[in-house]
Structure 1
Amino acid sequence: MDQRTVAVADQLGKAYGTGQAAVTALAGVSARFQQGEFTAVMGPSGSGKSTLMHCLAGLDTPTSGKAWIGGSDLGSLTDANLTKLRREKIGFVFQSFNLLPTLTAWENIVLPLSLAGKRPDKAWTNRVVDAVGLADRLGHRPAELSGGQQQRVACARALVSRPDIVVADEPTGNLDSRTGAQILGLLRMCARQWGQTVVMVTHDPIAAGYADRVLFLADGRLVDEMAQPTADGVLDRMRRFDAQAVR
């Protein structure tokens, strides 16, 4: 693995169930994710895109193949070391925000550091808070924040530990288009200005247009890739896949 490669999926396979009832979610997917690169993963429902992300981030265990973060083969780690790696090396952003309702925005943001027994780096934390535009909302609890503000808290929480990779599963799925654009702009800034690796699962061609490249999955396989995507280009590619599936 070269120095710029942050994460690797190596022939990842994932099946649920056994025998005739087995369902294949991934069928030998390989991909590399570079430092400072924003990758979108797209495909129809059931194509395996979320399963790929979960295996890559150590949230699920592949049936075959390997997932690497940095120099670590996730399958070789103990549960304790895998938990430590997820906490220190990976930032997570989900569609449902996943904030703790009894904590303030600030307490939610620094939660990964608190769990690790670490103190926040004041300069870096201030930079993250400024980037997500939450300096005047840090004392508010999630119920006192809009959906967009809650997702910005989730983004700040994902970034506060300076992870090697940020994985985002439909991060704009519960947001209006304007607020979604703000979150996508933030993820793109993370890659371009801060050099972080961002992997985002999305079904939205407009969201994919913010990325540096798009990986297309179908039936658990990597079927295409697009560099420097545009929303129109992604939509056209998806339509072609749909037409091929109908034949």
Structure 2
Amino acid sequence: MTEHVVAEAEALGKVHGDGDNAVVALAGVSARFTRGGFTAVMGPSGSGKSTFAHCLAGLDTPTSGTARIGGVDLGSLSERELTRLRRERVGFVFQSYNLLPTLTAWENVVLPLSLADEEPEQAWADLVVGAMGLSDRLDHRPAQLSGGQQQRVACARALITRPDLVVADEPTGNLDSRSGARILELLRQCAREWQQTVLMVTHDPIAAGYADRVLFLADGRLVDTMERPTADRVLDRMRGFDGHADTVPQDGRRGAF
């Protein structure tokens, strides 16, 4: 059975500044993401993991290499075309929720569609809202919701357009362990039951254990891949970065993002 490649990075490079002031954030990272896959990206602080996710999703522009979503080279798009692709084909979940405080939960969920002057597909919207446990919270504004509920609104917003790729950058960073586990279970459900492609940036081995695969970055490079991860295996691998000057940034600048 042929795997359906949803997103692809080919030799992605990102350098900030030039000359003696150049800071390498990514140094030729390549990876493929197939439909229904849940991939975690991990690495030491400053390894380039968020830069990689942002370049792949069109939030940042690589210095070299190619990022593709649905076969479309992001570098070939105008700013307007790229904005439309991000809105229609990529769903984002961030650590800080990024909800609009004056909108209700429902209005936040459907915001990507509202911006395109489109109506939600009701059956899909009902499925997503129900799975997120938000059916009785849709009239509430973010200030009336707990952190976990706000992040579930953000997850529903990321999914409402049925995107090719869902990018979650430290989605449990502001949550307690119970709320974080709920978000991780929902992301895994998105991949396994709904065949969404999920890319999650995380520093947490427990969170990475929910994924199907882990990519390990260090000093802007892809240094290892782990299939069928567990929290213990991921933690052991992360410990392997300690004390290795050739893989772990020593000055806190290389790979900064």
- Tell me, yes or no, if structure 1 residue 166 matches structure 2 residue 166: yes
Matching of residues 19-168 of structure 1 within 5 Å = 19-168=19-168
SS in 2 for 1:244: coil
Give the counterpart letter for 1:48 in structure 2. G
State the 1:241 CA deviation.
1.6
Distance across 2 between alignment mates of 1:239 and 1:44: 10
SS in 1 for 2:241: helix
Do the aligned partners of residues 122 and 64 (structure 1) sit closer, same or farther apart at CA in structure 2, a change above 3 Å counting?
same
SS in 2 for 1:50: helix
2:200 aligns to what?
200
Which sections of structure 1, spanning at least 5 residues, go unmatched? Answer: none
Distance across 2 between alignment mates of 1:3 and 1:61: 27
Distance across 1 between alignment mates of 2:241 and 2:47: 12
Give the counterpart letter for 2:242 in structure 1. D
SS in 2 for 1:149: helix
RMSD: 1.2
Question: Cα deviations across residues 39-79 of structure 1 (Å, max 9, x unaligned)?
Answer: 00000110000000000000000000000001100000011
Give the counterpart letter for 1:215 in structure 2. L
Distance across 1 between alignment mates of 2:164 and 2:244: 37
State the 1:244 CA deviation.
2.9
8 Å Cα contact 2:44/2:241 also seen in 1? no
Which sections of structure 2, spanning at least 5 residues, go unmatched? Answer: 248-257
So what's the TM-score if we normalise by structure 1?
0.98
Distance across 2 between alignment mates of 1:240 and 1:20: 30
1:240 aligns to what?
240
Distance across 1 between alignment mates of 2:204 and 2:215: 13
Distance across 2 between alignment mates of 1:188 and 1:165: 13
SS in 1 for 2:171: coil
State the 1:246 CA deviation.
8.6
Distance across 1 between alignment mates of 2:3 and 2:188: 21
Give the counterpart letter for 1:163 in structure 2. P
Give the counterpart letter for 2:12 in structure 1. L
Give the counterpart letter for 1:138 in structure 2. L
Question: Cα deviations across residues 193-220 of structure 1 (Å, max 9, x unaligned)?
Answer: 0001000000000000000000000000
2:18 aligns to what?
18
Distance across 2 between alignment mates of 1:245 and 1:106: 49
1:226 aligns to what?
226
SS in 2 for 1:117: coil
Distance across 2 between alignment mates of 1:97 and 1:103: 13
State the 1:245 CA deviation.
3.7
Count of residue pairs the alignment pairs up: 246
Distance across 2 between alignment mates of 1:174 and 1:158: 18
Distance across 2 between alignment mates of 1:202 and 1:90: 18
4+ residue runs over 4 A deviation: none
So what's the TM-score if we normalise by structure 2?
0.94
Larger helix proportion of the pair: 1
8 Å Cα contact 2:11/2:29 also seen in 1? yes
